[in-house]
Amino acid sequence: MVIYLDESYDWQGVYFLLGALFVIENHDVFLASFNSLKREESFARPDGTLRELKYSKIKYPKSERTAIKAIQTFNRVLKNP
């Protein structure tokens, strides 16, 4: 597994966000699970494409819930390749 870190700040400089990109061998399994999760949480546009889960939106309950579920999904896929 390869891990890339990215730091971000909001435009006011109040919040510090540390993002991590994990590159795992079975990324297709995680991607399929992640996309299913986004569909379940209504992240699909009318044309069927999926919206991104953005840091700036995690202050909203739906986005926060989806982010938590995404992390849980990642952990499951990582433990059961």
What are the tens digits of pLDDT across the range 26-46?
778 888 988 999 999 999 999
* pLDDT (0 to 100) of residue 44: 94
* pLDDT (0 to 100) of residue 55: 72
3-state secondary structure of 72: helix
**pLDDT of 15 over the 80 cut:** no
Q: Which residues pair with 2 in a beta bridge?
A: 23
Query: DSSP letters of 36-56?
Result: HHHHHTT-B-TTSPBPP--GG
